[in-house]
Amino acid sequence: MEERLNSSRSKIFRVPEAAEYLGVSRSQIYKLTRERLINISKPGGKIIYISQESLDAYALSNGLKTVEQIGAEASHYLSSRKS
C-alpha cells in the first residue's frame, strides 16, 4: 500500500521519514500534528501519513521578508496614509 501511495505525484511520508525530511525529531512531528500545524491522513485510524506538500507548506509558512519587500510595503503604507 505504501508503495502505491508513494507512486503519485506527491511523496507521502510516515512520521520517521517526515522528521528526517524536515530535520526535526519524531516528537516534533507528533507535536505539529497534535497542534494541527501540518495536514495528516490516518486512513486506517492508526498510521499517520503526511504529504510532502504539507511539510513544504509548513516549512515555508513563516518566511522572512527581504529588506526590499519591507521597504516596498513601508512606501505603500506611507503613500496610502497621505491620501
Contact 52, 12 (CB under 8 A): yes
- Assess contact for 38 and 50: CB atoms under 8 A: yes
Q: CA-to-CA distance for 48 and 15, rounded, in angstroms?
A: 7
Report the predicted TM-score, pTM, of the whole model to 2 decimal places: 0.67
Cell of 30: 507528533
Given a cut of 70, whether residue 3 has pLDDT beyond it is no
Please give the domain boundaries of the chain with CATH numbers for all domains: 2-82 (1.10.1660)
For residues 21-31, give the mean pLDDT: 96
Query: Given this model, what pLDDT does residue 41 score?
Result: 95
Mean pLDDT within 53-73:
91
